[in-house]
């Protein structure tokens, strides 16, 4: 045994620590001082051996009882030459899982590497606002890796089959000594598959997959918006050597509309009206995406920027019930071309103005007048 450092101090636990606390402390320290995380550091390697020695003792009830009673002397002078002197070796149990994840299989089993699922694919589709309103069915063509038909995705020439890898014995992993541990790595011959193809399929060259165009029918529901994602399960790339395929994700992009803007389920449009209609009131008709012509009442004296709302004439709720609203923003338009008679009538109207007809203007000029008086006093 090396330096006689107290095992409990090495694991940084109390002497009353139970099995769960011991295991947690050991995991933390083993990850910290593992040689793979500290390559070339002899101090870390020595520390790693010490904490393994400590855990090998304290994780065994018989060895721990002897250590608690006699200390390091329990394993000296006939005590077995170390914590392993009681026979057997430390049972690390499920501790191997964490090392296999972090250090590439140092404690892992020798099972064959499972076939990887096929990759997911992305397809960007542009649609109109009308398509988003009503929904539609569309056909798309996607270039994708598909399972090879002649070999049924095995990668071997029809009539033949893959053989077990001689290097790893079909386990998909090989072992090598690395510092204190026996480390498992992916087999370099079969790349973790556990099998070797001696007669590759000529169609896919042993890959089990070929690139081909795939035509798919896509159902776009009513109410979709920019960035809406549609998932087609199992329509992505085929997995290698018969593994399950991935998924195809369709991302929707809605074209800019010449008349409507969209905010969620609300449709917004801007409608210019004459200043006489704004003054006298009236009615306008707005064609909706639903194909109907919506009549909108214009109240007398309406101002530019005022918004009028038509309930239920907006976008449908995606995968829900009901629809949003249609909002019309009024823009009062000043005439640019007037006939002589129109000018005459406007001058007559101007002569009758008292200021009460335009309360906002009157209030504005009253504030200017007050501000000017304050400056001149």
Tens of pLDDT along 57-86?
A: 888 888 888 888 877 777 664 444 445 444
The model's confidence at residue 367, banded by pLDDT at 50, 70 and 90, is low
Determine contact, residues 129/267, Cβ cutoff 8 Å. no
In this prediction, residue 293 carries a pLDDT of 93
Q: Give the fold, CATH level 3, of 7-103.
A: Helix Hairpins (1.10.287)
Tell me whether residue 41 is annotated as binding.
no
In this prediction, residue 353 carries a pLDDT of 82
- Are 7-103 and 121-162+197-254 equal in CATH topology? no
Listed residue (287, 294, 278, 284) closest to 260, CA to CA: 287
Tell me whether residue 57 is annotated as binding.
no
Tell me whether residue 271 is annotated as binding.
no
Higher pLDDT, 320 or 267: 267
Residue 32 has pLDDT above 70, yes or no: yes
* Domain map (residue ranges) of the chain: 7-103, 121-162+197-254, 261-333, 340-376
Among 105-114, 237-246, 323-332, the least confident range = 105-114
pLDDT tens digit sequence for 85-114: 444 444 444 454 445 444 444 344 444 445
**Length of the chain in terms of residues written:** 377
Tell me whether residue 201 is annotated as binding.
yes
Higher pLDDT, 177 or 263: 263
In this prediction, residue 90 carries a pLDDT of 46
Residue 1 has pLDDT above 60, yes or no: no
In this prediction, residue 106 carries a pLDDT of 39
Residue 46 has pLDDT above 80, yes or no: yes
Mean of all residue pLDDT scores within the chain: 82
In this prediction, residue 224 carries a pLDDT of 95
Q: Give the fold, CATH level 3, of 121-162+197-254.
A: HSP40/DNAj peptide-binding domain (2.60.260)
Q: Residue 127 to residues 130, 250, 270, 358: CA-CA distances in angstroms?
A: 8, 12, 23, 46
Residue 329 has pLDDT above 90, yes or no: yes
CATH class of the region 261-333: mainly beta
In this prediction, residue 365 carries a pLDDT of 54
CA distance 347 to 70: 117
Higher pLDDT, 97 or 363: 363
pLDDT tens digit sequence for 172-211: 888 876 666 678 888 888 878 888 888 899 888 888 888 8
Residue 42 has pLDDT above 60, yes or no: yes
């Amino acid at each position: 045994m090396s330096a006689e450092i107290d095992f409990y101090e090495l694991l940084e636990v109390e002497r009353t620590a139970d099995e769960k606390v011991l295991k947690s402390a050991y995991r933390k320290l083993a990850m910290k001082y593992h040689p793979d995380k500290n390559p070339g550091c002899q101090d870390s390697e020595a520390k790693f051996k010490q904490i393994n020695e400590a855990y090998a003792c304290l994780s065994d009830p018989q060895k721990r009882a002897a250590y608690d009673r006699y200390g390091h002397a329990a394993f000296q002078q006939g005590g077995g030459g170390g914590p392993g002197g009681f026979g057997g070796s430390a049972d690390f149990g499920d501790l191997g899982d964490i090392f296999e994840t972090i250090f590439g299989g140092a404690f892992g089993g020798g099972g064959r590497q499972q076939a990887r699922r096929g990759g997911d694919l992305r397809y960007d589709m542009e649609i109109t606002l009308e398509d988003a309103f009503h929904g539609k069915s569309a056909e798309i063509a996607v270039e994708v890796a598909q399972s090879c038909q002649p070999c049924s995705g095995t990668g071997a020439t029809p009539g033949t089959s893959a053989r077990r890898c001689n290097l790893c014995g079909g386990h998909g992993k090989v072992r090598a000594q690395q510092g204190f541990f026996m480390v498992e790595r992916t087999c370099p011959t079969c790349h973790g598959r556990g099998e070797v193809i001696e007669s590759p399929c000529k169609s896919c060259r042993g890959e089990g997959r070929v690139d081909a165009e795939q035509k798919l029918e896509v159902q776009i529901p009513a109410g979709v918006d920019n960035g809406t994602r549609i998932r087609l399960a199992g329509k992505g790339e085929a997995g290698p050597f018969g593994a399950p395929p991935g998924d195809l994700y369709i991302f929707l992009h809605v074209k800019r509309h010449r008349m409507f803007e969209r905010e969620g389920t609300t449709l917004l449009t801007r409608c210019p009206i004459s200043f006489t209609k704004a003054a006298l009131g009236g009615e306008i008709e707005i064609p909706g995406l639903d194909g109907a012509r919506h009549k909108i009442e214009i109240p007398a004296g309406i101002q530019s920027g005022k918004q009028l709302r038509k309930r239920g004439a907006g976008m449908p709720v995606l995968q829900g019930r009901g629809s949003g609203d249609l909002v019309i923003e009024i823009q009062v338009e000043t005439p640019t071309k007037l006939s002589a008679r129109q000018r005459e009538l406007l001058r007559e109207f101007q002569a009758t103005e008292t200021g009460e007809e335009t309360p906002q203007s009157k209030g504005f000029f009253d504030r200017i007048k007050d501000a000017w008086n304050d400056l001149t006093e």
